[in-house]
Amino acid sequence: MENEVISKNFIETEIDKDLAEGVYDTVHTRFPPEPNGYLHIGHAKSILLNYGLAKKYGGKFNMRFDDTNPTKEKTEFVDAIKKDIQWLGADWEDRLFFASDYFRQMYEAAVTLIKKGKAYVCDLTAAQIREYRGTLTEPGKNSPYRDRSVEENLELFENMKNGVYKDGEKVLRAKIDMASPNMNMRDPVIYRVAHMSHHNTGDAWCIYPMYDFAHPIEDAIEGITHSICTLEFEDHRPLYDWVVRELAYPNPPRQIEFAKLYLTNVVTGKRYIKKLVEDGIVDGWDDPRLVSISALRRRGFTPESIQMFVELCGVSKSQSSVDYAMLEYCIREDLKMKRSRMMAVLDPIKLVIDNYPEDKTEYLDAANNLENEALGSRKIPFGRELYIEREDFMENPPKKYFRLFPGNEVRLMHAYFVKCESFVKDDSGKVTEVHCTYDPETKAGSGFAGRKVKGTIHWVPAAQAIDAEVRLYENLIDEEKGVYNEDGSMNINPDSLKIAHAKLEPGLKGAKAYESFQFVRNGFFCVDAKDSKEDALVFNRIVSLKSSFKLK
């Protein structure tokens, strides 16, 4: 439609203005994670936002690791992050960079600031620097080393680089304004001594730039136009602008902040996840109860569902939290038309059809997805002995219970009507078998128009059933108590994982890692990529079928 109004978020409005005024003639974004842990659902918003903006404006998108802190960074995290971003569909093409690739330029930039009288070497300890910085209501005090000469600062900084000093003995600080109302502008530290090996540069350096100094330089070197970041960096923007201005970069990048994505009742903090892993509460950073991107992928979420979720959340300046149920809504919406609806019995009990021939097996037709004919159909073997869900039989049922009980008749999905005649219990009083008779005139698809039944139950053939471990996940956190206590401990839900030893229809044999299906009545399930084997399948429940979320 010619007059269609296209809604834009505030970042797109700002970009439009920059392009119209000739501030930039292109759009170049980046995603700059620190490789000190695995990415989570909040990072997915940033990835897709930055990539989406570049794509929308016909620009470029860079992938860059902000690896300026060797104390916490690992190649393991680098590899995991790259895998996550590729899975989400953000394509950096040939533009994969590391902040550490620019250590030489950053060092030279620091020397430039010293020569301009805009940086100095300081001998104060970290505690003294904090003390001198002042408070939100009181200005800071100048360091006694603030007025060293350019020559002395150049020599001391060179000695820092050459390993003359111990960790923490000296730092390089920007010389800005100790009375600034913005604490970040009170002569921030821009270089520190750290005698540590770096995952990318090895032992080439024993001084490392601070994030707030390195980040604007990286953006400027790469020709980034719009540095899109989260709101906690808003107070750091004056320092970002100061760095690119003092170093006189042409076409300096512009920082724009947006609100983070917060999910209710989930754990995203890296130190908390690390503790969960170390304490054995979860089986790794990709445990399906977490919301790291690798955990969501392992559980069975799709890139499309994450993209839908991010779009529904929107982009704004105001902080807010989103219910986890919205994320579940998105995966249901994505899978319901794409996946086959298979039969799996999670708590099996034997059903014997006494009047069905013992040596007979027939193959019944079943549509793979009644809402999507393109998924075709399959044949399911049917015989005298089946498995049904234990909850589908009751000896003494309440009112409005329409499944199997003595004397009642139900439809077996895709098959026949069966009537419960009797049942068998073991010595403990537990029902072990339900005995029925079937009506051969009631075969599904035969056009039978006789009596009606109120209940339909699913089943799997006992002779051809596949054994599988099925993991039923609930929220890792006790939602009534919230995530954290005052002492920093977490309220863990003791029932966050239940394991069922299920019987599956034979069509699921050979299912591969990450393949997902709808199990009739039970939810959507995915083959676990870590523990499942060809002869010992393991399925994770992605999400149940019922939703508490309503799209407004």
Last residue of a domain, one of 230, 259, 288: 259
- DSSP state string for 99-129: GGGGHHHHHHHHHHHHHTT-EEEE---HHHH
Q: If residue 230 lies in a helix (H) or strand (E), which one and from where to where? A: strand 226-230
Distance between CA atoms of residues 350 and 34, nearest Å: 54
Q: Is 312 exposed, middle or buried (0-12, 13-18, 19+ CB in 10 A)?
A: middle
The residue from 458, 482, 505 where one domain ends is 458
- What contacts 125, CB < 8 A, 6 or more positions away? 168
**In the prediction, which pLDDT does 550 show?**
62
Cα atoms found within 13 Å of the Cα of residue 336, Cβ hemisphere only: 13
Q: How far apart are CA 194 and CA 160, in angstroms?
A: 10
Burial 379-409 (b: 16+ CB within 10 A, else e): ebbbbbebbbbeebbbeeeeeeeebbbbebb
Q: CATH number, domain at 255? A: 3.40.50.620
- Does residue 370 sit in the same domain as residue 511? no
Task: Please choose, from the candidates 67, 28, 26, 29, the residue with its C-alpha nearest in 3D space to the C-alpha of residue 46.
Answer: 29
User: Would you state the structure tokens that stand for residue 505, as one six-digit string?
Assistant: 């229809």
Query: Considering the domain boundaries, does residue 5 fall inside one?
Result: no
Asked, for residue 4, whether it belongs to a domain, the answer is: no
Q: Tell me if 130 sits within 8 A of 183, measured CB to CB.
A: no
Percent of the chain with pLDDT strictly greater than 70: 97
Q: Positive or negative CA dihedral for 329, 275, 200, 189?
A: positive
CATH of the domain at 386: 2.40.240.10
3-state percent helix, strand, coil for the chain, nearest multiple of 5: 30, 25, 45
Let me know if residue 489 belongs to a domain.
Answer: yes
CA distance 207 to 202: 12
**Using an 8 Å Cβ cutoff, are 390 and 347 in contact?**
yes
- Please measure the distance between the N-terminal and C-terminal CA atoms of the chain and give it in whole angstroms: 25
Number of domains in the chain: 4
pLDDT for position 448: 73
Domain that holds residue 432: 344-458
Q: Which two tokens stand for residue 473?
A: 């996940």
Residue 1 counted as domain residue: no
CATH of the domain at 122: 3.90.800.10
Distance CA 70, CA 208 (A): 9
pLDDT of residue 503: 98
- Whether residue 63 lies inside any domain: the answer is yes
Of 241, 203, 29, the closest CA to residue 100 belongs to 203
Single-letter code of the amino acid located at 125 = T
Question: 195 and 141, same structural domain?
Answer: yes
Residue 238 shares a structural domain with residue 91 = yes
Asked if 137 and 165 sit in the same domain, the reply is yes
Residue 380 lies in a domain: yes
Residue 154 near residue 115 (C-beta atoms within 8 A): yes
Is residue 275 within 8 Å of residue 483, measured between CB atoms? no
CB 33 within 8 A of CB 43: yes
How many other C-beta atoms can be found within 10 angstroms of the C-beta atom of residue 154? 15
Does residue 511 contact residue 527 with C-beta atoms inside 8 Å?
A: yes
Same domain assignment for residues 449 and 384? yes
- The residues that bridge with 173 in the sheet, in sequence order, are 120, 189
Alpha carbon distance 477, 496 (integer Å):
8
d(CA 39, CA 209): 23
Confidence at residue 547, expressed as pLDDT on a 0 to 100 scale: 67
Examine the domain organization and report whether 111 and 200 are in the same domain: yes
Q: 234 and 371: one domain?
A: no
For 251-272, write each residue's pLDDT tens digit: 899 999 999 988 988 988 888 8
Question: Which ranges of the chain have pLDDT less than 70?
Answer: 1-7, 449, 547-552
**Helices 41-56 and 75-88, axial angle in degrees (round to 10):** 60
Q: How far apart are CA 82 and CA 292, in angstroms?
A: 13
CATH for 529: 1.10.1160.10
Q: Does residue 121 sit in the same domain as residue 176?
A: yes
Same domain, 393 and 423: yes
Same structural domain, 36 and 50: yes
> Is the separation of the CB atoms in 542 and 300 below 8 Å?
yes
Give 428-468 pLDDT, tens digit per residue: 999 999 999 999 999 998 777 678 899 999 999 999 999 99
Tell me what pLDDT residue 548 has. Answer: 61
- Give the tens place of pLDDT for each residue, 338-374: 999 999 999 999 999 999 999 999 999 999 999 999 9
Q: For 487-524, write each residue's pLDDT tens digit.
A: 878 899 999 999 999 999 999 999 999 999 999 999 99
Neighbours of 231 (CB within 10 A): 14
Alpha-carbon distance of 537 to 467, in angstroms, equals 7
- Give the max Cα distance, the chain: 102
Token pair for 544? 């149940």
Both tokens assigned to 403? 């499944």
Q: Which of 415, 436, 458 is the last residue of a domain?
A: 458
Q: Is residue 11 part of a domain?
A: no
Evaluate whether residue 10 is within a structural domain: no
Residues 330 and 472 in one domain: yes
Same domain, 476 and 336: yes
